[in-house]
Amino acid sequence: MMTRPCDSLPPVRGSIMRDAPLKDLVWFRAGGPAEVLFRPADADDLAVFIAAKPADLRVSVIGVGSNLLVRDGGIPGAVVRLSSAFGKIEIDGMKVRVGAAALDGAVARAAADAGIAGLEFLRGVPGTIGGALKMNAGCYGREIKDVFVEASAIDEKGNKIRLSSADMDFTYRKAQGARDGLIFIEAVLQGTPDEPAAIRARMEELSANREAAQPIKSKTGGSTFKNPPGHKAWQLVDEAGCRGLKIGGAQVSEKHTNFLINTGDATAADLEALGEEVRKRVQEKSGVMLEWEIKRVGVA
């Protein structure tokens, strides 16, 4: 019999599950399983696993799946999902040290309680800090790069490394220096002093605006397409006549046309096909080819 990379995994202190369902771990509530799902006990456990794994074992990382579409064939190799040990939030003056598994909204609230302004925008960013670092997440005119000090990650050989802002090389919705083999474990963010009550008031306003404008109570993956230079993605989608467009159980949101939603029984194939149909119609109408913001992973 042929031996697969997943058949010879190193011993770990965390948990390993084979043929692990991912559908309930992503916001779209669609998609196939992970060949192996590894939840490391801590950073040392993760580093040992990466250093000792078979060289040809493919490793992927998922957070809470807020901006992720897992294809129906699932994800081959090992999928790493950081445990609660990576979700700590610590305050040091105007700096916030956060684990990569910390929810963006929780970081915003902790900063507000400590009188640290500038991180309010994270209240409107779904997902975890690890994902926010990878894609330079942002909203309402602020991005991770605006508050970033440094990050720590495990590299492809299991070494712990530190990355500066220059190392990250942030651009619009991307950290160009964060190569695919890096797994973020921690970040340091910095804000400015302000009254907690004033910060909370701004956060509540952002949250109310988001709920009014976006289908956040639907099974969705957040903003589907990046805003092209000089354009707004939702407007291009709307002008192409795609509001409410459906394929199978997937639909372009009536509320915000840069959101795809699972109306109940959509497959990942339905959602991806709908996104591609939208891109085609937008290009035919405006000449602009939209770029996916949602990360699509796995096999069809």
Residues annotated as catalytic are 173, 223, 293
Cα(174)–Cα(87) distance, integer angstroms: 22
Nearest to 5 by CA among 79, 77, 98, 102: 77
For tokens 């998922």, name the residue.
62
Q: What would the 3-class secondary structure string for 1-52 be? A: CCCCHHHCCCCCCCEEEEEECCHHHCCCCCCCCEEEEEECCCHHHHHHHHHH
Q: In angstroms, what is the C-alpha Rg of the chain?
A: 20
Cα 252–chain centre separation: 20
Q: Specify the DSSP element, H or E, that contains 207.
A: helix 196-213
Give the CA count within 13 Å in the CB-facing half-sphere of 222.
Answer: 23
- Say which DSSP state 8 is in: S
